[in-house]
Amino acid sequence: MAQPVATSGATSGAPRVATRRGTELFMLVCSAFIVTFALVLVELAQEQTVTRELFYYGFAFLALYGAAHFGVRRWAPYADPLILPLVSLINGMGLVMLHRLDLAPVVGAPFTGKQIIFTTAGVVLFILVLVLVKDHRTLAQYGYTCGFVGLALLALPGLLPSSISEANGAKLWINLGFLSIQPGEFAKILLLVFFASFLVSKRELFTTAGKRFLGVDWPRPRDLMPVIVAWFLSIGIVVLEKDLGTSLLFFGIVLVMIYIATERAVWVFLGMAMFGLGCVVAFNLFAHVQARVNTWLDPLAEGAQNDQLRTGLFGMANGGIGGSGLGSGMPNLTSWAVSDFIISAIGEEIGLVGLMALLMVYLLLMMRGLRSALAVRDSFGKLFAGGLSFTIALQLFVVAGGVTGLIPMTGLTAPFLAAGGSSMLANYVLVALLLRISDAARRPQAPAKPKPKQAPIAEAHTELVERPR
């Protein structure tokens, strides 16, 4: 993060700091230009002509993020100037790929129009969070409420009938016909608030050393309760909702936040060992876990369940280093290329180089979030911002690792990139909270009032000091 720059003409009370809002607006314009140019390439390759509507899309994209920029300028003027442009570029590349898939025969198309509606709703929610949450520290007062609501949202799809909660083998949804939401996307933010407030208030409890064994200070059994609760919840998600991705994401977030709060690596090793043991037990008991692992071990084997990963891998191999070109590949051959495998589709069309550039944009977004966590002054803000940033990183790792065969496939989708309303809305809330914390980190502090001078010792009153017992 850029260090606050004191400028001339500082007013009394606090030094003036460059807000960098002009830089943010310039980068948003650059992002809109890149997205519009990519849309032009897609239409030239697919339709051999460019429609006027594309430029309307470009201006609409700029107007949408112009509104978000106005919200930041008005309600979080000292926020990090790079976070919003990075989000707009990722979101824009997702729209480009969805438009490209709409031009090909894909079951369920078109997706671009729905995604634009979700993006608009996400930006509105983003501005509302900035307006309503004026100080991120107020969230800590509702830690237990957020934890209870988050757990209820997380468990709800697993308890509902499969007819309204199950899709593609995972019970993650609440489908009411006219409305379909994935409550787990919002639950992760609420649980982040709970764990951040809980760990800050109980930090001394977790740093208390237990018995020393094998050269390591192990925590006391009663201090293990947060890890044990997180472990039971993650295993419960696998059993009830058949969702490996949410289970891994949830448990990883808890472990990282405990590590940030205590700075003791033993928690991470202990948590990973417990999660590994739970996965072994789940693999031996549940068929859906065995199917995911077997697909991961042999993606080229015959069978319909391997078809998605197999075609995705062949698509990326077809793209190679430089890619087939926007609009010139065949990403529509892969099932669910608009959501779970959109990274595979992008890798086919812009190649390894383009995919690495996109992952670097995600990495920059995470780094700006972590820098805000380092710069903010309160412990809750540090832990909360660290958890929000790590959520983006871990979710991307799980998605990219699944489509490339590094880890078993999960049901998670790439943030801001894949089609989906719940994920889009929840991630815009996440970014708004991150910007709120970065605003607090970069906002200049009023200088402390000078302390009154003490009277000379000869004129001071005599005080009776009690001997410490």
| pLDDT tens digits along 65-89 | 999 999 999 999 999 999 999 999 9
CA dist 290 and 288 (Å) reads 5
- pLDDT tens track for 223-266: 666 667 766 776 676 666 677 777 788 788 888 888 888 777 77
Instruction: Evaluate if residue 13 carries a pLDDT over 80.
Output: no
- pLDDT tens track for 369-409: 999 999 999 999 999 999 999 999 999 998 999 899 898 88
Neighbours of 9 (CB within 10 A): 5
Between residues 459 and 365, which one has the greater pLDDT?
Answer: 365
Q: What is the tally of helices (H) and strands (E) in the chain?
A: 16, 6
The whole-model pTM stands at 0.88
Strand 180-181 and strand 212-213: pairing?
unpaired
- Band (pLDDT 50/70/90 cuts) for residue 131 is very high
- Band (pLDDT 50/70/90 cuts) for residue 458 is low
What is residue 366's predicted lDDT score, i.e. its pLDDT?
94
Query: Which residues, 6+ apart, have CB-to-CB distance to 340 below 8 Å?
Result: 308, 399, 402, 403, 409, 411, 412, 413, 418
- pLDDT tens track for 324-335: 999 888 998 888
For residues 240 and 193, is the Cβ–Cβ distance under 8 A? no
For residues 151 and 392, is the Cβ–Cβ distance under 8 A? no
Residue 17 β-bridge partners: 6
What is residue 125's predicted lDDT score, i.e. its pLDDT?
96
What is residue 10's predicted lDDT score, i.e. its pLDDT?
43
- Amino acid, single-letter form, for residue 317: A
Instruction: Evaluate if residue 169 carries a pLDDT over 50.
Output: yes
- Band (pLDDT 50/70/90 cuts) for residue 273 is confident
| Mean pLDDT, residues 188-200 | 87
Q: What is the DSSP letter of 405?
A: T
Residue 325, sorted as left (phi over 0), alpha (psi -120 to 50) or beta, turns out to be left
Instruction: Evaluate if residue 302 carries a pLDDT over 70.
Output: yes
For residues 330 and 345, is the Cβ–Cβ distance under 8 A? no
What is residue 344's predicted lDDT score, i.e. its pLDDT?
92
H or E stretch covering 174: strand 174-175
| Percentage of the chain lying above the pLDDT 70 cut | 83
Burial 120-155 (b: 16+ CB within 10 A, else e): eebbbbbbebbeebeebbebbeebeebbebbbebbb
